[in-house]
Amino acid sequence: MDNVPGFCSSDTFEENGEESCGGSSVEDGFVDAFGDLAALPVEVGERRPTCLRCRRPQKVCLCPFLPPHPLEVSTCLYVVQHPAEESRVLRTVPLLAACLPTGKCKVIVGRRFNEEKNPELAAVCRDSRTLILYPGPKSQNLEEIVQNQEDGSVKHNVIIIDGTWSQAKNMFLKNSLFHLPKQVQLNRTLSSQYVIRTQPSNICLSTLECAAVALSILERNDDIQEVLLRPLKALCSFQLEHGAQVHHSKEHLLKNGMYDKPMPKNKRKIKRMEKLVTDHAVCPR
Which tens digits make up the pLDDT trace of 102-130? Answer: 899 999 999 999 999 999 999 999 999 99
pLDDT of the residue at 27: 47
Residue 62 lies in a domain: no
Number of domains into which the chain is organized = 1
Residue 36 lies in a domain: no
pLDDT at 13 over 80: no
Is the CB of residue 73 less than 8 Å from the CB of residue 157? no
Residue 105 lies in a domain: yes
pLDDT at 282 over 50: no
Range of the domain at 226: 70-242
Helix (H) or strand (E) holding 77: strand 76-81
Residue 279 lies in a domain: no
Q: Which backbone phi and psi does 193 adopt, to 5 degrees?
A: -100, 5
Residue 25 lies in a domain: no
Residue 87 lies in a domain: yes
Provide the mean pLDDT of the chain: 77
Residue 3 lies in a domain: no
pLDDT of the residue at 279: 57
Residue 252 lies in a domain: no
d(CA 186, CA 7): 66
Region of 110 on the Ramachandran plot (φ > 0 left; ψ -120 to 50 alpha; else beta)? left
Q: pLDDT tens digits for 133-148?
A: 998 889 999 999 998 8
- pLDDT-derived band of residue 250, with 50, 70 and 90 as boundaries? low
pLDDT of the residue at 131: 98
pLDDT of the residue at 204: 74
- pLDDT-derived band of residue 262, with 50, 70 and 90 as boundaries? confident
- DSSP, residue by residue, 202-249: TT---HHHHHHHHHHHHTT-THHHHHHHHHHHHHHHHHHHTT------
pLDDT at 197 over 80: no
Q: Which of 235, 216, 206 is nearest to 64 (CA)?
A: 235
Q: What is the pTM of this model?
A: 0.71
- DSSP, residue by residue, 158-217: EEEEES-HHHHHHHHHH-GGGGSSEEEE--S------TTS--SSTT---HHHHHHHHHHH
- Edge-to-edge strand list for the sheet holding 182-185: 105-109, 76-81, 157-162, 130-133, 182-185, 140-141
